[in-house]
Amino acid sequence: MLIRRASDIKPSEITPEHIYRSRRHFMRDSLAVAAGAGAGTSALALPGSWLEARDVKPGEPIGEQMTSESNATSYNNFYEFGTDKTDPAEYAHEMTVDPWTVEVSGEVEKPGRIGLEDMLAGIDLEERIYRLRCVEAWSMVIPWIGFPVKKLLDKFKPTADAKYVEFKTLHRPSEMRGQRSFFSSIDWPYLEGLRLDEANHPLAIFAVGMYGKLLPNQNGAPIRLVVPWKYGFKSIKSIVSIRLTRRQPRNTWNDLQPSEYGFYANVNPEVDHPRWSQASERRFPTTLLRPNRIPTRMFNGYDEVASLYSGMDLAEHY
């Protein structure tokens, strides 16, 4: 298996072009899938040899510094567990993630429900180091483990009428205290959507791991979307349903505050949020004295997606 330490990765490789070229493929057998795993055993595990070889030093300077694993797993947005940044790390362990199935429905020739193990069988997992830019103007650089969204959608054969994809998070108030809260104004479950051509773009992935390990619950275990050229709220966590549609689906933040959060949500330094500028961002690690403010880049620096939006007014379609 071709695995390099994070310190061997050149800063330029954070750009996706280079990631394509140096894509580290993990063989199918790099996932130990314990069929019929007993109680208390995770049905899904990354092998010990993989973890040892990876030897990540979180926060190691690699040009654009990788965010430390402790930052990325303790400062989170996952409103199902509360609105404070520390709530997900504190309470997300209350969510059961094994077993897990995802239902794929709508405009597909072969609708169905698929278990996580079956989903990953035959799929090569890759590591992708991506910037994550939150609409709140903080950002991180995170090494995800996952696979292109298109690989899963194609298994269900989208019909010619499929134009959009709707994603839905688990709705289980008994295990998600934010969903039980009287103060929550969100109409659960959390919903997100993409145009089908956006979902099919090679940069859009489903992540099942980060920092060489399975995804922690607070980061959206066992499977979440990662769309690096869009604001973080598009990267929906703990997905249980995928529906292909003819019409543009709803998305939670747009439902809540349509003048502030759009459907497209492409990172764009020229279109400010009504209440703050989007021209710059605080890149982790940040402190009060050293906010580490850097300029925000169009499409979060992933210029190769620009052709998806040619002819569109991105101030109108924010």
Helices (H), the chain: 16-21, 48-54, 69-72, 87-91, 116-120, 149-155, 177-180, 196-199, 252-256
Exactly one of 6, 31, 67, 76 binds ligand MTE (CB under 6 A); which one? 76
Closest CB 168 distance from ligand MTE, rounded Å: 9
Closest CB 203 distance from ligand MTE, rounded Å: 16
**Segment 179-238, which members bind ligand MTE (CB under 6 A)?**
190, 219, 232-233, 235-238
Number of shown-chain residues binding ligand MTE (CB under 6 A): 16
Residue 134 binds to ligand MTE (criterion: CB under 6 A) = yes
First and final C-alpha spacing in the chain: 42
Closest CB 199 distance from ligand MTE, rounded Å: 16
Cα(17)–Cα(265) distance, integer angstroms: 22
Instruction: Return the H-helix or E-strand segment holding 3.
Output: none
Estimate to the nearest angstrom the gap between the alpha carbon of 46 and the chain centroid. Answer: 19
Residues in the chain: 318
Residue 263 binds to ligand MTE (criterion: CB under 6 A) = no
Residue 87 binds to ligand MTE (criterion: CB under 6 A) = no
Q: Which is nearer to ligand MTE, 6 or 225 (CB)?
A: 225
185-208 residues labelled b (16+ CB within 10 A) or e (exposed)? ebebbbbbbbbbebbbbebbbbbb
Closest CB 303 distance from ligand MTE, rounded Å: 22
Binding site for ligand MTE (CB under 6 A): 76-80, 132, 134, 169, 190, 219, 232-233, 235-238
